[in-house]
Chains A and B, each alone.
Chain A
Amino acid sequence: EPEVTQTPSHQVTQMGQEVILRCVPISNHLYFYWYRQILGQKVEFLVSFYNNEISEKSEIFDDQFSVERPDGSNFTLKIRSTKLEDSAMYFCASSGLESYEQYFGPGTRLTVT
């Protein structure tokens, strides 16, 4: 069964460093998303991406964040200068053109020290 994959599973970085989180969405899906979940809290939307551009973003997704689809399969989230409060699980999700159903990857645990 097709699934969303994410790498790395765990990333430790120092405050101020740049990180890139990678995702491979389900192959025939056209909408891509990033969400985050701070430990013990609910899942929060960051950004959605369709047709090679951002379609929606939350107020969390400030200028420190960017997304890219560098090729036909990968979808990345970049955080330019990480802060301690960026420590969280980051989930990638994807959905098909005619569907409300979003399928999530296993997540990347980002720890900023």
Chain B
Amino acid sequence: GQQLNQSPQSMFIQEGEDVSMNCTSSSIFNTWLWYKQDPGEGPVLLIALYKAGELTSNGRLTAQFGITRKDSFLNISASIPSDVGIYFCAGPQKMGNMLTFGGGTRLMVKP
């Protein structure tokens, strides 16, 4: 089946630093979704990407949909302690379709 590979698996950074993480796939996706999950809670949708090459921002978060449609990255600028959590990329093949999730990037921020 389809697999999404995320890297790095974990990051430990200083508050104020910028962060970059990415997601790659062997298959083409028409949509990329980025979620954040806090411990014991459900994934929260951060950003949705619909077009190859698209760059979308949500506050301090910026995500890009790769030109090949097989990758995406998420950047967080000026990290703060509440950015701590696990960031997942996910892709559906079509509307109403299952999401395939990546393995996640665990972000830890040192105040």
Interface residues of A (CB under 8 A from B): 4, 31, 33, 35, 42-45, 48, 50, 55-56, 58, 89, 91, 93, 95, 97-107, 109
Task: Give the contacting residue for B88; candidates A42, A99, A109; CB below 8 A.
Answer: A42
Task: Report how far A44 CA is from B4 CA in the complex, Å.
Answer: 12
Instruction: Indicate if the CB atoms of A101 and B45 lie closer than 8 Å.
Output: yes
Instruction: Indicate if the CB atoms of B88 and A102 lie closer than 8 Å.
Output: no
Shortest Cβ distance from B55 into chain A, in angstroms?
18
Instruction: Indicate if the CB atoms of A95 and B42 lie closer than 8 Å.
Output: no
Instruction: Indicate if the CB atoms of A45 and B100 lie closer than 8 Å.
Output: yes
Task: Report how far A50 CA is from B94 CA in the complex, Å.
Answer: 14
**Total chain B interface residues with beta-carbon distance under 8 A:** 26
Q: B11-49 toward A: CB 8 Å interface, digit per residue (1/0)?
A: 000000000000000000011010100001111110010
Residues of B within 8 A of A107 (CB): 40-42
Task: Give the contacting residue for B101; candidates A42, A48, A97; CB below 8 A.
Answer: A42
* A31 nearest CB neighbor, chain B only: B96
Task: Give the contacting residue for B31; candidates A31, A98, A100, A105; CB below 8 A.
Answer: A100
Task: Report how far A31 CA is from B90 CA in the complex, Å.
Answer: 17
Shortest Cβ distance from A93 into chain B, in angstroms?
8
Shortest Cβ distance from B39 into chain A, in angstroms?
11
Residues of A within 8 A of B102 (CB): 42
B58 interface residue, CB < 8 Å from A?
no
Residues of B within 8 A of A99 (CB): 95
Residues of A within 8 A of B42 (CB): 4, 91, 104-107
Shortest Cβ distance from B43 into chain A, in angstroms?
5
